[in-house]
Structure 1
Amino acid sequence: MELLCSPSISANAPKLPSRGPSMDKTGLTSRSSHLYFAGLGRKVKPLLVAVNGVIDGGGESETAVVVEKPPPYELRRPYELFVGHPTPYGATARDGGINFAIHSCNATSAALCLISVADLPEKKVSEQISLDPSVNKTGDVWHVFIKGDFDNMLYAYCLDGKFSPAEGHRFDSAKILLDPYAKAIVSRAEFGALGPEKDCWPPMACMLPSTDKFDWEGDLPLKFPQRDLVIYEMHVRGFTKHESSGTEFPGTYLGVVEKLDHLKELGVNCIELMPCHEFNELEYYSYNSVLGDYKLNFWGYSTVNFFSPMARYSSARMDKSGPGAIQEFKFLVREAHRRGIEVIMDVVFNHTAEGNENGPTLSFKGVDNSIFYMLAPKHMQDEDWGRPHRKFL
């Protein structure tokens, strides 16, 4: 997916006064409309936050400063930027803000992209924040901590580096990338629905951490011995989608919950869920002349993101599909355990939706192809599967 960005903006930021207001433990404070990004005593380049643009550093300062943009460049929202922490990976809500961390051994630059729900269908980046490797990088992890108004905002990344397929590198600064450790993905609103431009690959972005807390009510894994398991393999959508299931929420996590008592009566004590992490059901979209219909990737063995529950298995719609899917999936697991039914996941790690060298760049390939995938000697394609194998970190 390529998103539109305006030309980059650069400027020199003023130095912080030698004595200023006290800073909190993350090293940042704000005064009036200016945002101060403390470099923790190191010399770093000041950063500017651009709206629909790229960020450049300008000059050196004893302490990096993020300043209010001069007209006509005005921030949509006043974000406070901190150095951040390299762990955990992904986006993590803490200390009144969000910590972003992404691992890439070979990227030479990285930028965090904030995308409003309204801008996503238009394939636009709302705000893009470049990360300074002298401040926002620890080892091979890029990181930043941000406070501000994240209402109706999504996120992604833009990473750059060498494009050299012969060496296994496929960086492309024009690609907007999903966080491999995102916990929720937002894409199309309904299962199998083409976009307005009849595109099979919709714009996708990562959902920021939800403030909604799930009550596990003391639930713990059942840990049944493997020899005692009576396993029912299940496709979440297929299990209750037909009207004969008589469920209120057919084809969803909630629909499965409605039928758990039936499984219990059958003597089932474990359900094995076929892929229910995020995948693109229109990946193999083509016309089937025999059936007179279009083919879908129904099973889902072509992962877009391993940590995000499939949003279109949720009863929620697009604006709430990310957190809705998380909550409903947790509810399914808790209710299954309550009935003495263990839950195991069917996950295939040997290929993803990015396919081989001719496949799309969605996440892993653009974040660090040679690290996330096991490559054949020619760094092109696997000789057995025709797809690269993934090294799951």
Structure 2
Amino acid sequence: MAVDQNIREKLFQVIDSNFSISRGSPMPLGPTLQRHGINFAVFSKHATGVTLVLFVPGEMEPIAEFPLDPHYNRTGQVWHAFVSGVDVGIQYGYRMQGPHDHIHKFDYDQVLLDPYARSVSGSSRWGSRHDIDHHHDPLAEGGEVHGQHSVVVDGEFDWEFDQPLNRPLWETIIYEMHVRGMTANENSGVKHPGTFRGLIDKIPYLKDLGITAIELLPINEFDESGNWRRNPLTGERLFDYWGYNSIAFFAAKAAYASDNGVGAEVNEFKTMVKAMHDSGIEVILDIVFNHTSEGDERGRTLSFRGIDNSVYYMIDPKTGRHYNYSGCGNTMNCNHPVVRDMILDSLRYWVTEMHVDGFRFDLASILGRGQDGSVLPNPPLLERIAADPVLANTKIIAEAWDAGGLYQVGTFPAWGRWAEWNGKFRDDIRSFVKSDPGAVASLATRLSGSADLYQGSGRAPYHSINFVTSHDGFTMSDLVSYNTKHNESNGERGADGDNDNHSWNCGEEGPTKSAEINKLRRQQVKNMATLLMLSHGVPMLLAGDEFGRTQNGNNNAYCQDNTTSWVDWSLAKKNKDLLEFFQRLIQFRRRNTIFQRRTFGDDGITIAWHGKHLNQPDWSWESRSLAMRMFENQGTENSTDIYLIAHAHWVPAAFELPALPSGRKWYRFIDTSCGKDSIADVDCEIPLSDQCSYNVFPRSTVLLIAKDIETQPLPSSN
């Protein structure tokens, strides 16, 4: 399609105003600032023509269009040009010519986002597109999102001496959060709620809590207004709140910046990372390479589909339909060489230019599928990520399953590098705490590092990312308050969200005035927290669980941009005792390296299993109790010796205690049945009067630590 006369006239006017175009270079892909101008390069194997389109901020009409000569401005399958007279802030996109059939979706009328864009315009204010009233699914409308263009940004930033912290994974305690949800509530007390800058204001809180890394739900550019549903209870439009529908893997979400200026999110993200690093806190990104927001073959064409559909996505060659292993309409063709390179380039960018410390890969099993969807025995992308020299110290964490039925927890291709979200830990801890039968043996396996999953694959206990709750599912408070999900407000008639939650409401569904039930619920939360933080592996805590955040029974709040999902900071004061419990528990874990096990082998740590009677663990189906003694460097001056009793039965029981050497005795650090006194201050543990047995109340967890007997202070001379 030829450029129309009006555009042509404008083009010549611009060129006459010191714009000029030359051949440029095919590498690197994306925009590259050079002396006197910018190099643009984009891949497309099947395009027959490419036009570079330039915009100035705030203008919908282009200021220039440069049709690229296929002989002069193309090297192999990369189209490129150098444009002089342009600088940082210029916006751009591409028009692509080519076949339009059941496989290819070229449409010259659409201006497409650059897959390598570092910033995207048109969505700097959260929810700005929600004033467009969609009467049906926008993914079935087709057409571009008007006003969204790629933006050339300046990467200059004064990092001083900042670098990724490279804290060992075994020392890590992860805190999963949503950038907006963490501070959007009016009671968050921050100056810039819902933004990267808002997170900076919460650094003192994070340090006091004791976490070492924040894991951010997706911060790559996405359209939060892409949800067409309404809340049937209120009639309000719902959101794509979580953001698991990325459209630009190199671009941070513009609406997460407090400054609405074009490209401001880049510097604000860097400022946040630098501030976190200054406080010893790492930043891990939840990144979604398995699909994009373009949806299935009926969806909107924003970037990848219009640039080269058959390369970027897994396509059925007969029907042209997208393979859907993501559950979101399309699946990225991750093991195509070009897509592999893009993913590696993106990861390196976030590490080298944005200084992030790690990644959690959403539905990572898709990254191990071949171009036809088959499960590869040695997936090249996963191996390249594991072996990449730039990423050598970067934390890489897999969600080791996908929506196509592939479940690889414990068998994910790892090359000794990949850690995993341990979904079996989540389910087994929940089952034990709610007193399910047959859960004791699994509890022992999870407490000791999940050797059944990781030892045989050449990995270590710290490759297990242990969690009881995450963004996807009930909060910890809701796990003990609801038997079933309550997702009516999501507008899907309760069809969404997991039905198998291993939850128990402790006797009454939802909020209750019963003091007895509320006490038990608080105790159950402390039980789960204790087992999580005192297990081998890397613990991950969901934001707000430490002071009882609730989603009112919604276990799939992906669309709820409101107080259902936002952290309610008033609970930190209301449930101060619970918050202090978590703080002391985390402090205890960090101070005792016995919980930071680095191997399954001979590492000086000994674990012994007991039941109500010493050396007699009860592994039977009806058993609901287990005791674990764990000691490190026994007999040395700095030896650690602990005794953990997990009792999920509804009847109290007396547990025998191991005898200690002369000069030592058992001190109580935790007893979750003791209400507000359920945890001691670290180093102020309470000596037991009875050193032979301990009476454990129903549904409670006890942690004892062996210490040298305190000497009595000398009488005062006064």
TM-score (norm 2): 0.43
Output aligned runs, 1:135-154, within 5 Å: 135-150=72-87, 153-154=90-91
| CA pair 51-114 structure 1, distance change in 2 beyond 3 A | farther
Provide the C-alpha distance between the structure 2 equivalents of 1:196 and 1:295, rounded to a whole number of angstroms. 12
CA-to-aligned-CA distance 1:83-116 (integer Å, 9 cap, x gap): 1111111111112210101011111110100012
Match of 1:207 in 2: 151
Say which of 100, 118, 125 aligns to 1:190.
125
Distance in 2, matches of 1:154 and 1:347, equals: 25
Q: 1:7 aligns with which of 4, 7, 10?
A: 4
Q: Confirm or deny: 8 A CA contact 1:51 1:76 kept in the other structure.
A: no
Pick the structure with greater CA Rg. 2
**Residue of structure 2 equivalent to 1:50:** 8
Please show how residues 1-393 of structure 1 align to structure 2 within 5 Å: 7-8=4-5, 50-51=8-9, 69=12, 75=15, 77-120=17-60, 124-150=61-87, 153-165=90-102, 168-194=103-129, 198=133, 201-210=145-154, 213-317=156-260, 320-322=261-263, 324-377=264-317, 378-384=319-325, 385=327, 387-390=329-332, 391=334, 392=339, 393=342
**Partners of 1:357 and 1:76 in 2: CA distance:** 42
Distance 1:6 1:281 in 2: 33
The alpha-carbon deviation at position 196 of structure 1 amounts to 7.1
Once the two structures are superposed, what CA deviation does each residue of 1:159-197 show, in whole Å capped at 9, x if it has no partner?
A: 1111122xx211111111000000000013421123776
How far 1:52 sits from its partner (Å)? Answer: 5.6
Once the 2 structures are TM-superposed, how far is the Cα of residue 260 of structure 1 from its aligned partner? 1.2
Partners of 1:74 and 1:228 lie apart in 2 by 57
Shift of 1:297: 0.5
Asked if the contact 2:88/2:152 (under 8 Å) is kept, the reply is no
Following TM superposition, by how much is the alpha carbon of 1:202 offset from its aligned partner in structure 2, in angstroms? Answer: 4.1
Verify the 8 A CA contact 1:101 1:143 in the aligned structure 2: yes
The structure with the largest strand share of the pair is: 1
How much has 1:144 moved relative to structure 2?
Answer: 0.5
Q: List per-residue Cα deviations over 1:42-73 (Å, max 9, x = no partner).
A: xxxxxxx83567xxxxxxxxxxxxxxx4xxx6
2: CA distance between counterparts of 1:233 and 1:195? Answer: 27
- Secondary structure at the residue paired with 2:191? coil
Which stretch of structure 1 is more off in the superposition, 359-368 or 142-151? 142-151
How far apart are residue 230 of structure 1 and its match? 0.4
Q: What's 1:59 paired with?
A: none
Contact 1:84 1:144 in 2 (8 A): yes
* Distance (Å, rounded) in 1 between the aligned partners of 2:10 and 2:132: 23
Structure 2: runs of 5 or more not aligned: 139-144, 343-718
Distance 2:120 2:210 in 1: 35
Contact 1:50 1:75 in 2 (8 A): no
* 1:232/1:51 CA distance change after superposition, 3 Å: farther
Whose relative contact order is higher, 1 or 2, with alpha carbons under 8 Å and at least 6 apart?
1
Q: 1:329 & 1:127 partners in 2: Cα distance?
A: 31
Q: Is the CA contact 1:82–1:145 (under 8 Å) kept in the aligned structure 2?
A: yes
* Closer, same or farther: CA 74–136 of 1 in aligned 2, 3 Å: closer
1:327-360 residue CA offsets vs partner (Å, 9 max, x unmatched): 0001111111111111111012221110100110
What's the CA shift for 1:221? Answer: 1.1
In the alignment, the residues of structure 2 paired with residue 77 and residue 149 of structure 1 have an alpha-carbon distance, to the nearest angstrom, of 11
SS of the counterpart of 1:106?
Answer: coil
* Identity among equivalent pairs (%): 36
The one-letter code of the counterpart of 1:143 is H
- Give distance in 1, aligned partners of 2:316 and 2:285: 28
Do the aligned residues in 1 keep the contact of 2:37 with 2:87 (CA within 8 Å)?
no
Q: Provide the residue aligned with 1:62 in structure 2.
A: none
CA distance in 1, matches of 2:196, 2:14: 43
Distance 2:129 2:168 in 1: 44
TM-score using structure 1 length: 0.77
Where 1:232 maps in the other structure, the secondary structure is strand
Structure 1 alignment gaps of length 5 or more: 10-48, 54-68
- Which SS does the other structure have where 1:307 is aligned? strand
Q: 1:43 matched to which residue of 2?
A: none
Deviation for aligned residue 1:147: 1.0
Give the drift of 1:74: 6.6
Shift of 1:265: 1.2
Indicate the larger mover: 227-236 or 191-200.
191-200
- Going from structure 1 to structure 2, the CA distance change for 1:161 and 1:289 (only over 3 Å counts) comes to same
- Distance in 2 of aligned mates of 1:334 and 1:365: 36
How much has 1:117 moved relative to structure 2? 2.0
Conserved 8 A contact 1:188-1:202 = no
Distance 1:277 1:178 in 2: 14
Deviates more, 1:147-156 or 1:221-230: 147-156
CA contact (8 A) 1:51 1:75 kept: no
SS in 1 for 2:205: helix
The whole-number CA distance in structure 1 between the counterparts of 2:127 and 2:15 is: 37
CA shift for structure 1 position 294: 1.2
Deviation at 1:388, TM superposition (A): 2.2
Q: 1:74 to 1:367 in 2, by over 3 A?
A: closer
Runs of 4+ in 1 over 6 A off after TM superposition: none
Structure 1 residues 162 and 330: alpha-carbon distance in aligned structure 2, compared to 1, 3 A threshold: same
The one-letter code sitting in structure 2 at the alignment partner of 1:352 is T
Q: Is the 8 A contact 1:221 1:337 kept in 2?
A: yes
Q: Which amino acid aligns with 2:45?
A: C
